[in-house]
Structure 1
């Protein structure tokens, strides 16, 4: 299975202490799309994430301390821009994202610059969120749909493809605050004039490790999500136009 021939994509896998899952995730990605390089960004991991990712065949960018998913992805975007890639696809290390769906995201980059793998499209079934967490997702999706002038059903999905003007934009301005990598990044993209769209995506159970959000924190999540949205909407950014870089050969070994 290959990606669109007009793109030179990079798979970016942010990972924090994912030694239980990252190896299998990298091997699965490479098995499905052997022609697309995989970059694991170790977000201050203190376990064997780096060693296992390298053994599985990934390039590894090692951050000396934890920045969060947003900080790890900004590092991945910068690596992509500096090494001549014109698209970056976020795939989580825990195995919940199916690599077979990556080409569907890349195909839409011809029509948009940010493509979300949405868990709550009408075509999807089997993935359910209830209670305050679901209420927060509905609120975020309604507001961001209006802001981006397109229907968004899953504003907090971490399964995304980024290309065009959004790639160098995120390399410089991708936020690392709470929900910044999802909610605030979409606000930044919309305000910079980047087109956003979504495609259906199925989520799978985690292969192991600890989930980022536990059910007991759902009520807190609702309040924090609403606050994150308000701050994203009122915050001002110094976003200047960023030229899309000319393609040049990627660094085949190591990370500069």
Structure 2
């Protein structure tokens, strides 16, 4: 059986982190996990230590990219075959992890996306308009159809873990998906999952940051992709 690590980046998640990890341990105890505390200003790290959680405590806030790369380096150095990005805020349900792992084992895909929009339609909203634009740009630049490019629930195989561990320019964002498909011939498939609303804590993306995120992502897919090797 392939060994799988659940990577949980956490920034100011004192209201959610305990329930998230405990649910993960109850529903999917067969998988290892690591919480990467991204320089939180609240008691996230303290709560993790108090509950005996497997924790990497970063001394400063690096952002989602830095926290996720830290988790991938951990996965690489400890020899995991697969690693999955998992939100600390409770939006991701651990009940879907096994389905994604089974899909990777069956298809030998490099990346499995836990997608909200395989069998369900996207709602009509400004945010989904941005998602559609990113999907279109990925299709235009790589030929791959990705229905939910902004999903944060992604499972990576060993070769993808290695890429994140040894390179400093890969992010857990749609432009990296496009890069890995275009430049590394990564195979990417999607599986339907359901996601819950955040109930507490602080998101990496505020409204203003979301607008900048969409603009930067589209720019990266259109331009940066052609200059990265």
Superposition TM-score, scaled by structure 1 size: 0.80
Q: Is 1:140 the counterpart of 2:130 in the alignment? A: no
Contact kept, 8 Å, 1:94 with 1:209, in 2: the verdict is: yes
- Among residues 139, 150, 155, which one is paired with 1:156 in the alignment? 150
Q: C-alpha separation between the residues in 1 aligned to 2:215 and 2:50?
A: 41
Q: C-alpha separation between the residues in 1 aligned to 2:189 and 2:141?
A: 12
Task: Give the equivalent residue in structure 1 for 2:193.
Answer: 201
Distance 1:201 1:147, change over 3 A: farther
- Among residues 166, 169, 172, which one is paired with 2:163 in the alignment? 169
Higher helix share: 2
CA offset at residue 194 of structure 1?
A: 1.6
Q: Is 1:20 the counterpart of 2:26 in the alignment? A: no
Superposition TM-score, scaled by structure 2 size: 0.89
Q: C-alpha separation between the residues in 2 aligned to 1:217 and 1:76?
A: 23
Q: Is 1:109 the counterpart of 2:104 in the alignment? A: yes
Task: Give the equivalent residue in structure 2 for 1:84.
Answer: 79
Distance 1:67 1:129, change over 3 A: farther
Q: Is 1:44 the counterpart of 2:36 in the alignment? A: no
Aligned residues: 226
Contact kept, 8 Å, 1:26 with 1:57, in 2: the verdict is: no
Contact kept, 8 Å, 1:148 with 1:196, in 2: the verdict is: no
Distance 1:150 1:228, change over 3 A: closer
Structure 2 unpaired stretches of 5+? none
SS class of match (1:10): strand
Alignment deviations for residues 126-180 of structure 1 (CA, whole Å, 9 cap, x no partner): x74612x22221111122235554421111111010113111111122646xxx4
Structure 1 unpaired stretches of 5+? 1-5, 238-256
Contact kept, 8 Å, 1:124 with 1:201, in 2: the verdict is: no
Distance 1:145 1:108, change over 3 A: farther
Task: Give the equivalent residue in structure 2 for 1:188.
Answer: 179
CA offset at residue 69 of structure 1?
A: 1.0
SS class of match (2:131): helix
CA offset at residue 65 of structure 1?
A: 1.1
SS class of match (1:115): strand
Range with greater deviation from structure 2 (208-217 or 95-104): 208-217
CA offset at residue 20 of structure 1?
A: 0.8
CA offset at residue 72 of structure 1?
A: 0.8
Q: C-alpha separation between the residues in 1 aligned to 2:17 and 2:50?
A: 10
Contact kept, 8 Å, 2:138 with 2:221, in 1: the verdict is: no
- Among residues 110, 114, 117, which one is paired with 1:120 in the alignment? 117
Contact kept, 8 Å, 1:18 with 1:209, in 2: the verdict is: yes
Q: Is 1:61 the counterpart of 2:56 in the alignment? A: yes
